[in-house]
Amino acid sequence: MVKHQLCILGSTGSIGVSTLDVVRRHSDKFSVLSLSAHASVDKMLEQCLEFKPKQVVMVCESAAKRLAEKLSSQGLPDTQVLSGQQALVDIAGAQESDTVMAAIVGASGLMPTLAAVKAGKRVLLANKEALVTSGAIFMDAVKASGARLLPIDSEHNAIFQCLPESVQQAPGNSQLADCGIRKILLTGSGGPFRTLDNDLLPSVTPEQACAHPNWDMGRKISVDSATMMNKGLEFIEAKWLFNVTADDIQVVLHPQSTIHSMVQYKDGSVLAQMGNPDMRTPIAHALAYPERIEAGVADLDFFSAAAFEFQAVDFVKYPNLKLAIDACRAGQGACTALNAANEVAVEAFLNGELKFTDIFTINETSVNKFVSEEIANINDVIALDRRVREYARSLLTAIKHPAEGRNI
């Protein structure tokens, strides 16, 4: 049996760790060729000692130096340690690997993910921002290179599993209506504040926002789940992955996170993918597709599972989700601006510089300013991303120092 040679971008994050757990169970099917992280030296050292990759990228140069020293002292001098953003692009596009797990959070994952796509690899897409910031450009690159795109987000993976095989073989290139599909039903838990009084939202803390009731995620994604911006970014991602319009997608609150998403067919059928909330399920599905392999996830017990609840979205509580849906309708400039502003705002909230409800203020103001921007190529994406971040940071100053800053 030929093993898949894996490059895991973002291996020390929650998706990366879960990916390595699945790989650990199937050493006959997968080999780890390269790993990357930002600066988590100790965790990366553990991964290197176990999986012995040929190359490792630490984006932070000082972290790369520390890791290289530790690997040498541990008897692994042959593992090449690189640093910087370009090194991420290089390992993602390297010929030696055939499968890339794109699990870097945020827009910083765009260029290495795009490099993997252009190299025609199997790309396991956990970085939703790649499609949010550059939708048509990214999908055109997939079609041009013949890359195999497999979604990792639990919702998009669920939708993928509920689609006909012909659609699975051509992501972003099929007409779902021609396959008898009426609508995509994108589920979301509502996060930790679903039942919290709206008047209390301005005072919630980063620790409260990161305490997701069902999923174990990184801090940035946890805050996005609390604002439901994560669902908004997934909404935009679904548009591109499945070649649909905003009118073809409906967000449904499902607090138990047991049904991961659904596809509604014209004949009245609704197909749903279900399972315990554990990211190893979609990871194992994509790693081995079209086979099914053991993921280490407990079977769903229907006799002890909580009842299935479904609710409409309260856009007063979740204005960021409404903003994302509107951006999806408005065009690429709005989507790129939304993602950049949100990354700045969430980081500020996590650092104690911003109230939870001010995340929306930053996002809305930024989108309104840049909504009409034209995006023709990847350089336009990068340039707009940079400009929006600068603008969003200026808004932070205005909020913290209203007498000195601009009126927003």
List, for residues 382-405, the tens digit of each pLDDT value: 999 999 999 999 999 888 755 444
List, for residues 279-302, the tens digit of each pLDDT value: 999 999 999 999 999 999 999 999
Mean pLDDT, the chain, rounded, equals: 93
Q: Taking residues 39-57, what's their average pLDDT?
A: 96
List, for residues 243-268, the tens digit of each pLDDT value: 999 999 999 999 998 999 999 999 99
Which residue shows structure tokens 């001098």? 77
| pLDDT value at residue 214 | 67
Q: Cβ–Cβ contacts within 10 Å for residue 28, how many?
A: 8
CA 345, 346, 349, 354: dihedral to nearest 10 degrees?
20
List, for residues 59-89, the tens digit of each pLDDT value: 999 999 999 999 999 988 889 999 999 999 9
Number of H helices, E strands in the chain: 16, 11
List, for residues 298-312, the tens digit of each pLDDT value: 999 999 877 889 999
Cα gap 63→241, rounded to integer Å: 35
Tell me which DSSP letter residue 16 carries: H
Dihedral of alpha carbons 366, 368, 370, 374, sign:
positive
What percentage of the chain carries pLDDT values higher than 70?
Answer: 97
Cα angle, residue 307 at apex, residues 301 and 310 outer, rounded to 5°: 125
22: CB partners within 8 A, 6+ apart: 280, 283, 284, 287, 293, 295, 296
List, for residues 151-171, the tens digit of each pLDDT value: 999 999 999 999 999 899 887
What pTM did the predictor assign?
A: 0.93
273: CB partners within 8 A, 6+ apart: 157, 158, 159, 161, 162, 259, 260, 261, 262
User: Helix, strand or coil for residue 389?
Assistant: helix
List, for residues 165-195, the tens digit of each pLDDT value: 989 988 788 899 999 999 999 999 999 999 9
Cα gap 193→201, rounded to integer Å: 8
Which tokens belong to 22?
């699945």
